[in-house]
């Protein structure tokens, strides 16, 4: 075939899928861009398996550097496999309710929770490891100074900077007109027993996208302590 015929055939092959999509009611979607937001996951409930993800954390090293830390990948299994832990999640480090009530409440209740059969307590936010550490220091939390330590002596601040755990729990919400946070975690708390949700406390009864109100009634330390007391063996 002549060059002009070959060009016409190539053009027809390229246009055929678009024409077919148009006849069926819409254009075909392009593949998602790298880093595009994942599809929504069903909200975790009692009995749900927690997502297996990698957290990008910073651990203390033997160094004279002003910032004596190095990167360490920590998996969900490292934190939750074979353990019973409390995890509470909030919209953002340094924000008012999180800083004035939620984190201080769990920090104060840490020893009580340990006495009620909890191996550790984690505070999760869609922030990076640098922000989480500075928030903990600003809160006056005691930092674990041993080499290899990942955070603080009581409540551990868990960075979910890429929102992978939050999405996997079905707890992702986006604040755009309200607050301008972007994608963050809805406020909740849970007990995780060996990689499964034992008990879930979700504010407002469920996620609201771009919510005006920021409910704070069931995810604070008091309801968690009451639950742990009620199931104490």
Catalytic residues: 98
Task: Choose among 85, 87, 95, 185: nearest CA to 139.
Answer: 95
Phi/psi of residue 227, nearest 5 degrees: -65, -45
SS3 assignment for the chain: CCHHHHHHHHHHHHHHHHHHHHHCCCCCCCCCCCCCCCCCCCCCCCCCECCCCEEEEEEECCCCCCCCEEEEEEEHHHHHCCCEEEEEEECCCCCHHHHHHHHHHHHHHHHHHHHCCCCEEEEEECCCHHHHHHHHHHCCCCECCCCCCCCECCCEEEECCCCHHHHHCCCEEEECCCCCCEEEECCEEEEEECCEEEEEEEHHHCCCCCCCCCCCCCCCHHHHHHHHHHCCC
């Amino acid at each position: 075939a002549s060059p002009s015929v070959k060009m016409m055939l190539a053009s027809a092959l390229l246009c055929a899928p678009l024409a077919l999509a148009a006849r069926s009611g819409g254009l075909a979607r392009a593949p998602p861009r790298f880093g595009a937001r994942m599809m929504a996951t069903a909200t975790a409930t009692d009995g749900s398996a927690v997502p297996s993800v990698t957290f990008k954390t910073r651990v203390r090293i033997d160094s004279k550097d002003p910032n004596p830390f190095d990167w360490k990948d920590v998996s969900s299994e490292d934190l939750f496999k074979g353990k019973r832990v409390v995890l509470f999640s909030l919209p953002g480090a340094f924000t008012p309710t999180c800083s004035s009530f939620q984190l201080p409440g769990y920090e104060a209740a840490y020893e009580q929770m340990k006495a009620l059969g909890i191996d550790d307590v984690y505070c999760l936010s869609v922030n990076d490891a640098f922000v989480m550490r500075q928030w903990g220091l600003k809160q006056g939390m005691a930092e674990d100074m041993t080499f290899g330590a990942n955070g603080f002596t009581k409540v551990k601040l868990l960075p979910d900077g890429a929102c992978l755990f939050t999405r996997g729990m079905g707890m992702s919400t986006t604040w755009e007109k309200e607050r301008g946070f972007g994608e963050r975690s809805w406020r909740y708390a849970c007990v995780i027993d060996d990689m499964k949700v034992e008990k879930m406390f979700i504010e407002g009864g469920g996620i609201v996208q771009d919510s005006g109100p920021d409910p704070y009634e069931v995810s604070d330390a008091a309801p968690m302590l009451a639950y742990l007391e009620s199931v104490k063996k």
